[in-house]
């Protein structure tokens, strides 16, 4: 339900999902829609998990209703993360590993899920193309990939700058049945959230959440590079846009 005015989470001018996120995640949360829409999006994912399904969560962190629902209905659950702890709590991962080196066998999972993770893949050395290759590789034919990402908020350049055409072109290599849905793009009656109000490239572009759902209905493309890229601060520098790196430098120096 991307239209905030029709969302059952809206109570007057209060977003109940934002309060839920603050109480559940127990960490700093940005304003709606960035800090709220993931909650109802993830709840909609739960309805797709059926008994005996095999589910993989990418970048699971410490909070996983996907894991809880899998256990509730009798589905198998696996999860990866690149770190053992997040905000001082142990992650729920069954394997600590990078998506770039995903160790699960081909055609294993009915559902692969990533909540607010794809925008950071490249920062950890996994290109988006190779990350999608890995996700679709472990999906069974007909299986579903569920990803939600922030737009005009943070992450590597395609997400920060909202380059949806590039994202759609990339997904089209792997799936002929892919749906992009924007949540909170027009958050009225809630105020718009501008994550970088002094960044000229994002002037008048308020942040929102993009929900992406793709079915494995194609053979895996050939010649996808599995080269592990730069990671950490160097990975950010390389995978951010030049103008954003300039903006960060000016901001750090106090000139913006």
In the block, tokens 């472990």 appear at 138
Residues 131-170: tens digit of each pLDDT: 999 999 999 999 999 999 999 999 999 999 999 999 999 9
Q: What is the DSSP letter of 212?
A: E
Confidence label for 251 from pLDDT (cuts 50, 70 and 90): confident
pLDDT at 236 (0 to 100): 76
Average pLDDT, the chain: 92
* Beta partners for residue 89, in sequence order: 86
Alpha-carbon distance 58 to 104, whole Å?
Answer: 12
Question: Based on the number of CB atoms within 10 Å of its own CB, is 23 exposed (0-12), middle (13-18) or buried (19 or more)?
Answer: exposed
Residues 224-246: tens digit of each pLDDT: 877 666 677 777 778 889 999 99
Confidence label for 254 from pLDDT (cuts 50, 70 and 90): confident
User: To which H or E segment does residue 113 belong?
Assistant: strand 109-115
- 133-139-140 Cα angle (round to 5): 135
Could you tell me the domains of the chain? 4-252 (3.40.50.150)
Average of pLDDT values for 115-128?
Answer: 93
pLDDT at 190 (0 to 100): 92
* 3-state SS class at 236: helix
pLDDT > 90: percent of the chain = 73
Confidence label for 192 from pLDDT (cuts 50, 70 and 90): very high
212 touches 147 (CB < 8 A): yes
Alpha-carbon distance 242 to 73, whole Å?
Answer: 47
44 touches 204 (CB < 8 A): no
* Of 61, 67, 74, 162, the residue nearest 117 (C-alpha): 61
pLDDT at 26 (0 to 100): 80
Which whole-number Å values give the CA distances from 136 to 19, 70, 106, 122, in the listed order? 34, 20, 9, 17
Q: What is the DSSP letter of 231?
A: B
Torsion of CA 67, 59, 133, 137, to 10 degrees: -30
209 touches 33 (CB < 8 A): yes
- 67-11-113 Cα angle (round to 5): 20
């Amino acid at each position: 339900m991307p239209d905030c005015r029709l969302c059952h989470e809206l109570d007057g001018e209060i977003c109940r999902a934002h309060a839920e996120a603050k109480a559940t995640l127990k960490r700093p949360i940005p304003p709606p829609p960035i800090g709220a829409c993931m909650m109802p999006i993830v709840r909609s994912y739960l309805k797709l998990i059926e008994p005996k399904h095999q589910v993989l969560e990418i970048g699971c962190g410490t909070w996983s209703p996907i894991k809880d629902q899998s256990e509730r209905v009798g589905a198998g659950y696996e999860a990866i993360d690149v770190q053992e702890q997040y905000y001082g709590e142990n992650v729920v991962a069954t394997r600590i590993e990078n998506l770039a080196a995903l160790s699960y066998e081909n055609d294993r999972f009915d559902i692969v899920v990533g909540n607010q993770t794809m925008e950071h893949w490249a920062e950890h050395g996994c290109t988006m193309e190779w990350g999608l290759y890995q996700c679709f590789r472990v999906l069974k034919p007909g299986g579903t990939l569920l990803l939600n990402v922030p737009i005009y908020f943070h992450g590597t350049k395609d997400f920060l700058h909202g380059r949806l055409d590039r994202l759609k072109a990339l997904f089209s290599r792997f799936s002929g049945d892919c749906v992009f849905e924007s949540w909170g793009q027009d958050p009225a009656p809630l105020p718009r959230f501008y994550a970088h109000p002094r960044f000229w490239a994002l002037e008048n572009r308020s942040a929102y959440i993009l929900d992406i759902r793709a079915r494995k209905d194609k053979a895996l493309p050939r010649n996808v590079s599995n080269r592990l890229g730069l990671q950490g601060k160097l990975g950010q520098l390389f995978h951010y846009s030049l103008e954003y790196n300039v903006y960060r430098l000016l901001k750090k120096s106090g000139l913006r």
